[in-house]
Structure 1
Amino acid sequence: MTIRAVVFDIGGVLAIDEPMDFDARWEATLGLAAGTIGTVMADVWAAGAIGKVTEAEVNDAMRDRLRLTAGQVEAIMADMWRQYLGVANTELIEYARGLRPRYRTGILSNSFVGAREREQSAYGLEDLVDDLIYSHEAGMNKPDPALWELACRRFGVEPAEMVFLDNAPRLVDAARDVGIRAVLYESPGQSIAAIEKVLAR
């Protein structure tokens, strides 16, 4: 089948992010035992990934459960978002920009409530691609099979007509399991070459 859509992940792909260790650093700063923030906030992080809580509810939970001040919560979340956003993968972003209008282009990202607005401000992603699917807006995460189905509907293609680029091997495998032509991101050059090889078939 001819490829009609090229779809990208964000974190670790279109944006290069550092390890998310903000919680460990803040645990040390606040005198909390290692792993406290992750344990106490686990259900909130999970809910935020599929849009079941608001940003205000995330902040309230962190304040109340960890007995923090509003200022401390604001500082922790600012640190979290700095790491979450990372820095632009400019080579790959320019490649994605050049694919239109020959192909439909899109984003399919496991995300967190508040990500769209911040990533738009940082990277202008809504202007880069034809459509964006965020897990916190769709109410489900990759590798949920229903999310792959939603992506195909939104991009107007059959699975075999889509190339999908992700940096997580298990998600690449999951996409391939439903027939999507998935590519594992390792570097901009490698990824672009791999996508072009699929497009040339």
Structure 2
Amino acid sequence: MPIRAIVLDIGGVLELTPDLGTAAKWEAEFGVGWGTGLGEVFRAGELGHVTLEQVHEQAVGILGVPAARFQAYMDEMWVEYLGTYNRELADYWKARRAEGYTTAIISNSFVGAREREEEAYRFSELTDLIVYSHEVGLLKPDPAIYELCLDRLGMRPEETVFVDDYEPNCAAARALGMAAVHFQDTAQAIRELDALLQ
């Protein structure tokens, strides 16, 4: 069955997001490990169980730091989160859409991401569907988030290819019958996509 839809991850794929050392820098200032209750707060943010304001309030309470300092951390975190736009891959993807392929995004995201990514990169203009974890309450590699995307697209797994920089997320897609490309660099991903689309 020919592939009809190209589904991309965002972080590490459409956005190139090297580790800028933000977490390590702020952990040193805050004086606690990120596992001290903060992991649950941030996971809740990834699943959309809390608002961004609640993330701030809860984190400030756990850390015992001034709200302005946590805001400064979050400001730097968003810079690292957004990374830089992978224009070469985005242009390739846009061209395939112009040829008739359906395009979609599945992203493990964080509350506030849609607004920031839309302002920075206008993903909604490139794709037919965006599935954000914080909006649907599911995280990759949970099969349910892929199934939700397929259902909204009206596609069978065999008609889709998924691209992600984290191999377990690719493995989960393959287990459902989707083709998958493990993104390591842009040229490699485009080569593998071309081979699958021919």
Equivalence for 1:106:
104
Partner deviation per Cα, 1:96-135 (whole Å, 9 max, x = no partner): 1111131000111111111111111111101111110001
**TM-score, structure 1 length as denominator?**
0.94
Equivalence for 1:21:
21
Equivalence for 2:61:
64
- Alignment counterpart, residue 90 of structure 1, candidates 87, 92, 97: 87
Q: Is the 8 A contact 1:5 1:106 kept in 2?
A: yes
Partner deviation per Cα, 1:119-178 (whole Å, 9 max, x = no partner): 111111011111100011010001111111101111221000001100111111111011
CA distance in 2, matches of 1:41, 1:191: 34
Partner deviation per Cα, 1:170-197 (whole Å, 9 max, x = no partner): 1111110110011111111111110111
Measure how far apart 1:20 and its partner are. Answer: 6.1
Equivalence for 2:37:
40
- The count of residues paired between Structure 1 and Structure 2 equals 197
The one-letter code matched in structure 2 to 1:8 is L
After superposition, where does 1:88-167 map in structure 2 within 5 Å?
88-101=85-98, 102-167=100-165
SS in 1 for 2:131: strand
Equivalence for 1:190:
188
**TM-score, structure 2 length as denominator?**
0.96
Measure how far apart 1:27 and its partner are. Answer: 2.2
CA distance in 2, matches of 1:21, 1:10: 20
The one-letter code matched in structure 2 to 1:126 is S
The one-letter code matched in structure 2 to 1:134 is Y
The one-letter code matched in structure 2 to 1:26 is W
Q: Which ranges in structure 2 are unaligned for 5 or more consecutive residues?
A: none
Percent identity of paired positions between Structure 1 and Structure 2 = 43
Measure how far apart 1:37 and its partner are. Answer: 2.9
CA distance in 1, matches of 2:162, 2:4: 11
Q: Is the 8 A contact 1:20 1:84 kept in 2?
A: no
Q: Is the 8 A contact 1:4 1:162 kept in 2?
A: yes
RMSD: 1.2
The one-letter code matched in structure 1 to 2:25 is R
